[in-house]
Structure 1
């Protein structure tokens, strides 16, 4: 389901209840399309997400503490200047449209009261957020600028008057009296599907809401106007519901829609419902926004290494000729008296192959002895090259494994933790270090923390540097270490020297989940005491070796892992 006008109506009611007389204490913009307002209301801090994302546009209260970037975009700076310290006077919906208007009061530099509005338009790819002066209706700033030459009807940039989006001449279902609704319905085309007629006629009706009204009319054998009235009555009591038809098809609705089939799950608030629906989708998108350049760097390096391995394999094949040069050198040494300087070729018996004759090319400018030494030199060079090439192949494979680990950690990471992976890539030389004039102390993230069913603490590294820290410095030698077997993933520590079998299986499940095989079944996971772990000299971050391990096989259970999360 989309965030339609009906859902917007219910959300505005919830926001008014939770944010009444709230005061904005903080504004930040963690991602390109998202603004976070921290609002102090009812003695609690609430984080309100305003998203103008093309696919995930919405407004809700969130629990996630998204990171505040070191440098704020221009729009965020404008919001901070004008809204920090402001009080919410009202939150309203425009008709039954997907437009939400926050009214604020604040004081300017001279101490005069100022009225402003923050308008959030949830219009798919045209979604936008505006800060306007309430009295003059002039745009102070907006998230997405649209200059006059791109849209002469509705330019969107600071200094122009705010205009509503083009009106579609649809009626507000919630502003009409029953007799007015009946009059409009009487004009419906009897041949057209009722859902389509409802959507074309009434403002803000998404396909699910229109289908629900049509369902009442069909299944309860009542008039369309009575069905609309029933729908409006049911909306008065909100029961946020997520209906799952299949893994890829879910619907979020303000109450359980009878027309939707599938497993239904209810939530305490609409915001919690949206968290459940958007959690993975939004996180994946945020990671793509922040980490697309990192993934590109890793992918490029891995492609370079594949080409390098092909060339090294070719060189290795050439080194297989080394013994041929040695044999020819020895034959020439044994028969020095049978040829002389100036010859270009000599045919001699090969005592390594039943005295079969072999033709050996000579350099006519060299003596017989010098020709023999030249073949020995070629042999020595290729022999030395074998060791060098094998070492290069080993190092390249090790680097590819490291890059594969980085790629996995980026995909499994929370967006706010990607900065540490950037630092790791910088230290490894894959990224250029940015010169900063301010030596700002960076916040170091903490490992994921879980608690097993029997209460045992389980820690999970978020990146390679943290894996090293966790395994080699933080963990006790008697603790238990786990890792997906021969698979890129996180280090997992059970803070116990004798964990129960249940805890080991739960920790193994976590290790499999935080690995490249997160979506696989029957994933092998090794576990061993931390004292058995060693890091070879010069090894890449996160790489360790161990012995004496045991292996269990698990299938990652996402719901179980969520229930064990302690941070």
Structure 2
């Protein structure tokens, strides 16, 4: 595997480069405004005479990073708790210093507001990434992600607790110091297949991506030349940032040094490279999500069409069956006085071929009543056969038009192409027909729900409850059984959502969990965010806050899922759903 086929992370060297770039821009600037476009992303609008910049700090579990952006993203109508705390304490304050801790993936942003001093700490550590505001005495004011004792006994990040640094192994070397190069010289001279692991255990903030580059470049040009190419910019502050590409030209990420010019697109600043790379990756993710959603919906329609065509192709069978029943009815009436009845059958002379035929007779019914029933069924079969025969060419033509669209969706490379496909007349018509069918299904009679609680039943029998207000959330909590699965947006207000799992606690499929979590995300102030984290746990782990307002709860043993609001409730279309 070549280095470029691996993911490009935001590692210790990336953080050093972005700090070198940002320090002269934001140091001395005032924080004009703070927005939190998603649960994991924070944007500080910073002003200094002659220039206003937007600083993005993200603690996304996969895309944690920090850089300047042009677009701050949507501003939620109701700011999350963390945003309100930041606005209270540091909006209008001055950024004094931006510094990386040694070579680790942690940055400290020192902020002064009148006589008060705060530090906004960003930890870029995968799923443990976090953004924490710390007061001068070392107390945590608030954090983007709260880590209670049940999640970590060693280190909690909760308001009022003292801040402690993330644990790290002792004996790590700072990569760009010359002593590190000399320490590793005898190690890198070996032809060891485990060199990448050895490097990561010896150097601080080193990613597998950079470790592979070091091993490759050392083998190609020697340790001193490789070290200078990779870590020289730390000393000279002469970075060569760019967007890293695959051989096919797909975006892998961004890096502050260019070591493969043929697989890199250079940019004036590292912030621009990061914004381009992560913007492309977000668009790619959105394309994959929307493509899958559209592909699933079209696949459902295609499968339904094939079932309908198979049924329509049986028009001849219906016609033959109708003729047989018509013949039986004629024979029964023609032979009413010359029949032999045995149990629930009669034997009559077949005037069509001269033999005898046995005709079923319903228990308790006369021959005349039975013949009338056969005539009625024969008429229905004749009508159904004619309808199927007329409908068959239309169904086959619709299927023939949809199959190429299904194939094109799999090859889509941009959202614009996907939109064009989705807006073709045949696709619009097919998708509209399925939506109208769902509306018809939702009109079915269902048990009445208490005020403030909505019930959604999927076609495979799962029941989802959604609270529509605080009282409804409270009612929903009382309705749930201990083994029902309960959902709520992390760190914010949202509708309570529950999946009814039955007395024995059936396990909902992953698609259903994402479907239900989508309702919590879509019914929260973060519904306009790009990504919302939703917690879910069993109802038995949810407790009402004594003396608190309706719907206020505490919960434990939770797991979490990241949802794009609006996409969740549409992602369980394989079975469909209906509102009760």
Interval of TM-score (by shorter of Structure 1 and Structure 2)? 0.5 to 0.7
Alignment match, 2:327: 327
Q: What secondary structure does 1:256 align onto?
A: coil
- Counterparts of 1:27-106 in structure 2, within 5 Å, are 27-41=34-48, 43-64=50-71, 66-106=73-113
- Supply the distance in 1 between the matched residues of 2:35 and 2:316 (Cα, whole angstroms): 58
Alignment match, 2:376: 377
C-alpha spacing 1:159/1:209, structure 2 compared with 1 (3 Å): same
Q: Is the 8 A contact 2:251 2:277 kept in 1?
A: no
Q: Is the 8 A contact 1:104 1:117 kept in 2?
A: yes
The reply on whether 1:19 has 2:26 as its aligned counterpart is: yes
C-alpha spacing 1:94/1:363, structure 2 compared with 1 (3 Å): closer
Alignment match, 2:490: none
Please report how far the alpha carbon of residue 282 of structure 1 lies from its aligned counterpart in structure 2 after TM superposition: 2.9
- Supply the distance in 1 between the matched residues of 2:298 and 2:117 (Cα, whole angstroms): 51
- Counterparts of 1:328-407 in structure 2, within 5 Å, are 328-336=328-336, 338-339=338-339, 344-351=345-352, 354-355=353-354, 357-362=356-361, 368-383=367-382
Q: What secondary structure does 2:36 align onto?
A: strand
- Supply the distance in 1 between the matched residues of 2:36 and 2:296 (Cα, whole angstroms): 25
Alignment match, 2:268: 268
Q: What secondary structure does 2:28 align onto?
A: coil
Please report how far the alpha carbon of residue 51 of structure 1 lies from its aligned counterpart in structure 2 after TM superposition: 1.9
Alignment match, 1:131: 133
**Greater RCO (Cα-Cα under 8 Å, separation 6 or more):** 2
Q: What secondary structure does 2:277 align onto?
A: helix
Gaps of 5+ in 2: 1-7, 420-430, 443-454, 457-465, 471-580
- Supply the distance in 1 between the matched residues of 2:19 and 2:74 (Cα, whole angstroms): 26
- Supply the distance in 1 between the matched residues of 2:351 and 2:272 (Cα, whole angstroms): 84
- Counterparts of 1:356-505 in structure 2, within 5 Å, are 357-362=356-361, 368-383=367-382, 429=439
- Supply the distance in 2 between the matched residues of 1:262 and 1:66 (Cα, whole angstroms): 32
Deviating more after overlay: 313-322 vs 274-283: 313-322
Q: Deviations over 1:420-474 (max 9, x none)?
A: x9xx97996479798589xxxxxxxxxxxxxxxxxxxxxxxxxxxxxxxxxxxxx
Match of 1:119 among 116, 121, 124: 121
Q: Deviations over 1:92-151 (max 9, x none)?
A: 111111111222233xxxxx5422221111111221111111x11111111222223433
Q: Deviations over 1:476-496 (max 9, x none)?
A: xxxxxxxxxxxxxxxxxxxxx
C-alpha spacing 1:367/1:182, structure 2 compared with 1 (3 Å): closer
Alignment match, 1:140: 141
C-alpha spacing 1:213/1:146, structure 2 compared with 1 (3 Å): same
Q: Is the 8 A contact 1:342 1:364 kept in 2?
A: no
Gaps of 5+ in 1: 107-111, 438-567
Alignment match, 1:496: none
- Supply the distance in 1 between the matched residues of 2:80 and 2:389 (Cα, whole angstroms): 50
Alignment match, 1:170: 172
Alignment match, 1:282: 282
Q: Is the 8 A contact 2:134 2:140 kept in 1?
A: yes
- Counterparts of 1:298-337 in structure 2, within 5 Å, are 319-320=318-319, 321-336=321-336
Deviating more after overlay: 341-350 vs 202-211: 341-350
Alignment match, 1:454: none
Residues matched between the structures, number:
412
The reply on whether 1:202 has 2:203 as its aligned counterpart is: yes
Please report how far the alpha carbon of residue 52 of structure 1 lies from its aligned counterpart in structure 2 after TM superposition: 1.6
Please report how far the alpha carbon of residue 54 of structure 1 lies from its aligned counterpart in structure 2 after TM superposition: 2.1
Please report how far the alpha carbon of residue 326 of structure 1 lies from its aligned counterpart in structure 2 after TM superposition: 1.8
- Supply the distance in 2 between the matched residues of 1:149 and 1:189 (Cα, whole angstroms): 42
Alignment match, 1:563: none
| RMSD (CA atoms) | 5.1
Q: What secondary structure does 2:37 align onto?
A: strand
Q: Is the 8 A contact 1:29 1:69 kept in 2?
A: yes
Q: Is the 8 A contact 1:62 1:275 kept in 2?
A: yes
TM-score by length of 2: 0.57
C-alpha spacing 1:268/1:43, structure 2 compared with 1 (3 Å): same
Q: Deviations over 1:269-325 (max 9, x none)?
A: 212222343334334556899999x89996998799699969977997984522221
C-alpha spacing 1:389/1:162, structure 2 compared with 1 (3 Å): farther
C-alpha spacing 1:281/1:183, structure 2 compared with 1 (3 Å): closer
Alignment match, 2:239: 238
C-alpha spacing 1:398/1:62, structure 2 compared with 1 (3 Å): farther
